[in-house]
Structures are given as structure tokens and as C-alpha cells.
Chains A and B, each alone.
Chain A
Amino acid sequence: MSSSSTTTTTTRLLMLKASDGVTFEVEEAVATKLGAINNMVEEEGSEDLICLPNVNGKFLGMVLEWCKKHANNNTNSDKGNDEVNKWWDKEFVMDLDQNTLYHLLMAADYLSGTELVDLLTEKVASMIRGKKVEEIRETFKIKSDFLPGQEEEIRKKNSWAFE
């Protein structure tokens, strides 16, 4: 390595501004883990401040935390890092309450963070897998909006899944 200054100039910093005005200063390599930011960087080039009116600070912070972890580990091509990342992801989604999970998923989708969307949707799927109809309704507080008699009919048609 010739000098320390060459390594610092290569990492460009971006300012991301959430809907509630909270700003985050992140390395370009971290923020471009998100497809939407990557597109903006490629299109606008020199713009360093990016406004994200659809995501608030709390969830943007969480999304960026995920990006940072995955961008850092990607620079290391060590196979063991895959395992470390998996563990980290598991912890990341383990205790999310439903409200946070929902907003995080909406933010990840809006920002085109494909890998994060996969992680979060798989978490939601695990809350449905193997569950009874009543349990799914209870978990997500879904109200049945079938017309009278319609539910019986639909239930009969799907009876194979209840046996």
C-alpha cells in the first residue's frame, strides 16, 4: 500500500435523508446494496444527498444496518463469512415485532433491497407455514371477509390441506 490517503479517497460518502428528516451518512458501497440507490447513483452521478420520502428514519437505519453488515462481509471472500452472515441475519429477524417487520419489508421493497426482501418475506412465510386458518388469522389479526356460507364452501374445496 503506498499511502493511507489513497484508500480513504476511494470510498465516497452519500447522505440519505429519511421522510422525518433524519439523515444518514453512509459509504457508497453500503448504500448501493439497495437497487434503488444504486440506480440513483448511476443516473445522477454527482448528487451526494438522496431524499427518501417513503421511509422513516427508524426503518431506514435498520435497512442500512443490514446493508453495512452485508457490504462489509462481501469484500471478504472468505467462505466462513457466509455462515457468519446467516447467523447475523437469523438474529436480525428473530425478535422483530410484526409492526417493525411490516415497515422494514415495505422499506426494503421500496429501496429494491432484493436480498433483504427475501430474508424478511421468508420470515413472514415461517409465520404461516404449518399453521391452521384460525392461527393465521390470530397471528396477523386478519378478519374474515367472506360472505355468509362462502367460507364453508371455500373450506370444503381446500379440505385436503386440513387433514
Chain B
Amino acid sequence: MSKPLKTSTDRFTSLPEHVAHEILKFLPLEDISRLSVVSRTCRQVCISMPSLKVNAAPYRYSTTKRTQLMNYVDRLLSLRRGMDSRCLFIDWGLPSTEEEHRVLSWLHNAVVCNFKQLKLILRLKSGSEFTVPPSLLCSTSLESLTVNIGINALLKFPSYYSSINGFSSLKSLTLCGVRIDESFSNWVSICCKFLRKLCLSQIKETKSLVINSSSMHQLFISSTYNNELCHLQVSAETLEYMTLRWEFDDPLTTEHCSFLPPSFKFSCGEELS
């Protein structure tokens, strides 16, 4: 149990720090920013909260507000270095190039601050690309990464020659509503060596997925609406759970699916539409 924030008599700042953080998790950053002006103790508890939720959705139509929010996040991240960091959640809609740079700098800061979980939702324009920053792969603390950039944008991964060691702690990777190309299979095998859970949901563009892993326990693949995937190969000797939801739009195309080890038991319900 953490110690009380200080020896005070009021009913907020005399709560233990971890309880005060539980309260803050229900508040948007604008309220937290205001709370930090209430007293020194309040300010301290706002800076040290272990999970940070950055949500630009309420400021969709105000560039000024978004800029102010960005400045606040920058400051918060620089103040909280060395503190216990758990989850960084970023939801940023249709960013301009400048805003995208700021988001990238937060990802870099997430590595410096040793965040354990990172959830990134970027509502990118149709036809645009987003590359996972190579610095993210240097994180020794990152255990869980979730990326959603919109079904019409392409998610790219840093070349594995430049990041040969890959993630050292990443156990869970979730890609939801993104386009990926054929290079993903190779990248995930080489750069995510300790991955225990992979979740691919509403993946577009790639026709082939080849999963090679000696650490994976859970695999979820869902490819349904306007499915483009036609080749799936899984080779993972430690796999315990697998969920596959695969719908074919055109029953005439040849889909191919194979699993290793062949003794792996699975039930498969093919849906032909």
C-alpha cells in the first residue's frame, strides 16, 4: 500500500497515492490539468499517474486546443521521467504532418519513460502510411503494443536489418484495422522473438501470412470483411490457443492454410459468403 499523499486533513489529498491515481484514470487530461493547479500535492499526483490517456477526439475541430493538448502532453512526459509508467494510450484523429511528428516524439518518450503498454489509435487518411518508429524496438520495458491506424492506411515496420535485436520484452502484439504488406510475416518472426500473444484483426492488403514462432501461446486471426488473405501458414510449437475467423468472398479463389506441428488440434468453421 502506498503512503498517503501528505499529512493533510482534506478528503482528497489524504488518500493513498495509488487510490488517487485510480480516481484520475476516469478523468480526461483537461480535468487533470486543472486539478494540478489546486495544490502542490494535487500537482504531484497528476504528474505521477502511471497511466496516461491522450485523446484528441473532443478537439477534432479545434487546432488550437489540439496544439495546447500536445504541449501539455509534452510537458507531462518530460516531468514524469524516472517514475513508474504503465500504460500510454494515444487516440489521435487525422493528424497533420506536424501532429504526426509530435505523436512520434511521444512514442520516443514512451521508451525513455519505460512504459509497459502502448495503445496507439491514429485515424490516418486513406492511402497514407505509418512506420513503427525504430526507437520503439529498443524499449526494454514494452510488453504490450496495440496499433490501429485505420483500415485504409498502410502500417510499415522498421527494416529488420537496422533493428536486428528486435523487441526484448514484447509479449503481446495487437494489430486491428490496418493494412500490412507481405513483409509483416518476416518482421514479426525476426523482431518479436518473445511474443506470447499475437492478435490480428481486420487485416487488409497482405495475401499471405506466415507465422513462425517458438514462443507464441495465443494466436487470434480475424479476416472477414472484404478478405484479401489467401495463404496462411502457422508454425509454432508452443501454441495453446488459436482462434481463426476467415471468411472468403469468392469461393473460386484457392485459399491455403497449413499448421505445424500437424498434431495441433483445431476446429475450423469456414464461412462461404
| Pairwise interchain contact B38-A130, C-beta atoms closer than 8 A | no
Q: Could you say which of A131, A141, A146, A150 contacts B11, with CB atoms under 8 Å apart?
A: A141
Chain B interface, >50% SS class: helix
Interface bits A138-163 vs B (CB < 8 Å: 1, else 0) = 00111111100011001101101111
A13-21, A37-45, A120-128 - the one binding chain B: A120-128
Give the interface size class of chain B. Answer: 35 or more
Q: How far is the CB of B78 from the nearest CB of chain A, in Å? A: 12
A63-71, A73-81, A85-93, A96-104 - the one binding chain B: A96-104
Chain A interface, >50% SS class: helix
Other 18 A-B pairs with CB < 8 A, given A98-B11, A145-B39: A102-B14, A106-B19, A122-B26, A125-B26, A128-B31, A129-B31, A130-B31, A140-B13, A142-B10, A143-B8, A144-B38, A145-B40, A154-B43, A155-B37, A158-B34, A160-B65, A160-B68, A161-B31
CA–CA, A132 and B14, complex, Å:
21
Residues in A with CB closer than 8 Å to B15 are 102, 105-106
Which residues of A does B touch, CB under 8 Å?
98-99, 101-102, 105-106, 109-110, 117-118, 121-122, 124-126, 128-133, 136-137, 140-146, 150-151, 154-155, 157-158, 160-163
CA–CA, A78 and B171, complex, Å:
36
Q: Could you say which of B13, B18, B19, B24 contacts A142, with CB atoms under 8 Å apart?
A: B13
Residues in A with CB closer than 8 Å to B243 are none
Which residues of B does A touch, CB under 8 Å?
1, 8-16, 18-19, 22-27, 30-31, 33-43, 65, 68-69, 71-72, 75
Q: How far is the CB of A137 from the nearest CB of chain B, in Å? A: 6
11 contacts between A and B (CB under 8 A): A106-B16, A109-B1, A124-B23, A125-B23, A125-B24, A128-B31, A131-B34, A141-B10, A154-B37, A160-B69, A160-B71
